[in-house]
Chain A
Amino acid sequence: MEVYLYIALFAPLVGSLFAALFTATPKKMFTGVIASLLIISAFVSSTILLMYILNGGEPVQVEMMTWMATGDLYIPFGFVVDQVSVTMMMVVTLVSSVVHVYSVGYMDHDKGFNRFFSYLSAFVFSMMVLVMSDNFAGLFIGWEGVGLCSWLLIGFWYHKESATWAANEAFIMNRIADLGMLIGLFLIYWNTGTLQYTEAFAAMPGLDTEILAWMGIFLFIGAMGKSAQFPLHTWLADAMEGPTPVSALIHAATMVTAGVYLVVRANPLFDLIPHVGLFIASLGAFVALFAASMALVNRDMKRIIAYSTLSQLGYMFVAAGLGAYWVALFHLMAHAFFKALLFLGAGNVMHAMHDELDPFKMGGLKKPMKWTFIMMTLASVALAGIYPLAGFFSKDLILEVAFVDHHYILYAVLLFTAGLTAFYSFRLVALIFHGEERYKLFGIHPHEAYKYMLIGMSPLLILAIIAGSFKMTYFEMVTALLPATEYHIHSHLTFWIMTIGTQLFVASSIVYAYKKYANNKITVPDGTSKMENSFAYKLLFNQYYIPYIYEEYLVKPYRELSTIFWEQIDLKIVDASVDGIAGIVYGTGEKTRAMQSGNLSTMLKWMVAGTVGLLSLAVVFGLAARYSDEIMAILSGLGV
């Protein structure tokens, strides 16, 4: 089995390095094809490993080599394939295979075709390191690797000012969170003496609760950055500047779920500190509602889906925070499928509409883009959680978890958010695909995407539909590692009322969204309607003014402070002292260069002067050494 582990891990790296060879050359089709094939081979290996684990195989653990061994510190490059990591491996390799195939078509006309595949495969490799590592240090390497690849890919079109800005924003926000994560890792190492998962978790029950709480909090700060939880959420929406396949793979399906994976992986720690778990759950519920509300009014197709991702991450954190780790992981998996599908569909629409993002300028696209229409509608149904698609099984389960654990406020918030989710998803679908063909005003002739792109997307479509049916198989598998709490509502009547009630609520939101946005009266908003001038609309449209507040109260004061430090400290103290030393050297050189007249006679005179000087020094020191006692006596008599 180890060979499959190594294939799954290193095939993406080989693909990345291979594509990197051609980054400076014009587009070569085979880089995309070979990178895709290597990712697919990683996917096949992961599938074999999944089958092995499903059939009751022991987790595969390998120690490839020693990374650090100094004193008591021992960190190997160790990898493990157990029930949790194999789930993540499946999600990562499957979605990235689809995205690779899709990108061959999507990046068809891009000058950076080869470079794109190099970055994308490098991302997959980092993500595999992240999920397969058997210690926190390896996880951190992967964590930083995906951060780097995310930066590279958001800023892929680096000639665009907004793209580089968004890339830097994402990177800097993640750095802030990574500092928290590092502190968490240091705390773990100091208190348990190891970074290996199994050993560290085994040592944790013997520790003080306060220390454990700090570990949990700092690890969660790291997770907040990667998973874009409030208040570090602004980067995710701006990250949509990157190419759409990147948004699908990194900013919807895999990287942003790394935070959830971390919490799930560290479940023995979070089980010991339920109060921190409750905080995580509350923050998750808040983010779910907060992000969904921003998605209601946004006029950027990709941003709407990004806020939806944020909201669903909130759901996952509610489940993880309440101790339902397997539920969180299950929603992570289901969400990866339908959200990636939604993003890829949005990519098709963007291509057809010549990079237009405002859904108000589209409308009626269901005729020219029939397959994309079907895929995005089904993905939205899955996202809304309608029976029997994937979202129903995973998202309703989170609602049940909140209900069974008697967190009724969380339950109410999540239920309300489920309605909002349905509304904004179908607002988007209705605006893009139904109603009048408003795009004709802008002189655009939309066309469906390439056949192989659609075929490439189909596995995601199938999984978005049927993923729910794997629930019990999945449950039996992961509960070998995760706490096997089943969430059953005891009374049958309550269960049916809740399920049917939720379904009706969600369905009515969908119908309302269709009614409001699928008609022929929709026009491109021009800022004059009553709704657009209401306070609530402005608040939501401007993302609660949070980017503005960050700019005004964090970025600008920081910039001013930096200017002060630059002008007062750097220029006047640091630079001045360095320049001063250089000035002294220059000055003495300038003054004494007359000595070097080139005249042998003058030089000889200087030589004699030097000899005399050195001789007299030798005499003075010799005398001082000989009569040191007397000199000391005289000096102490003078009171020195």
Chain B
Amino acid sequence: MNENRLLCLGIESTAHTFSVAILSENKILSNEKEVYVPPPGEGIHPYEAAQHHLKKAKKVLQDALIKSKISIKDVNVIAFSAGPGLGPCLRVGAVVARTLANYYNKPLTAVNHAIGHIELANFFAKAKDPVVVLVSGGHTLVSTYLFKKWRIFGETLDITLGQLFDQLGRELGFNSPAGKYIEELAIKGKKYLEMPYSVKGNNVSFSGLLTYAKNLIKKGYSKEDVCYSVQETAFAMLTEVTERLLAFSEKKEIILTGGVAANLRLQEMIRSLCKVHNTKFYVIPKEFSGDCGAQIALVGLLQYKTNNLVDIKDSVIRQSWRIDEVDVTWRD
């Protein structure tokens, strides 16, 4: 098969999700995943998640190849999520990627997971110069692109939105990720309970809000009202920070991405900025909002095209890896 297109196989393995995707330059050919689910009321256990990924890796890889109708021999580059994330989980993805690259003699590229969230959202949005709002279990930040880096203007000073929901969910007996359960309860909430509102300049802090909400649950307040109030408060804080960046940067597009981007109330709040500031609003499609191989494959392909590759011996994982440390080789 001599197709005139570039193909990338991307492996995502930073936390709950093990996923493999195959991508051409303009199409996601497959995006298969298996998600580790901890027992109810518990958070992710890194070792158990890694065990899960090890067991599922072969099946997910096979499914992705079959679905895309691509032979691995035709793939141009193998990409893996090198960080940030949980060490044991990252290692599984890295080992699978190195093995494939070595056995099939393919180039290897190391992708920053968060950059994956951003670029995949923009793959659909095709925005020119957006303000990015990245909200997930690992990140809560607002960013714009400038001089070869995604710059962080504001972020959480402690826990992320995803962690806020997961930890509140744990208190309520849900398993992580708990965002969707919190959202369902919040819709039924009627009464707004006053909560700590913490915006420090362009940054937010959710830990005080979490403690406060957990205490209200312990005191027997309605779960629905607490979830509703937590969402309203946390999202208002994030939206305020987004608005601050919008006003400061004077940009005309917003992209909302990451797992928590699927929350409809958050979308509604961020969208409410657009009329005031005359901006366009884009949100990542729901099926791609959570962690997936497509985000890794996409950035992998962009890196491959700009010769941003890594030798197997140097293909280390990075549990801590901020987006403003990544050299963006594919943007001007």
Asked whether A and B interact, the reply is no
Give the interface of B toward A (CB within 8 A): none
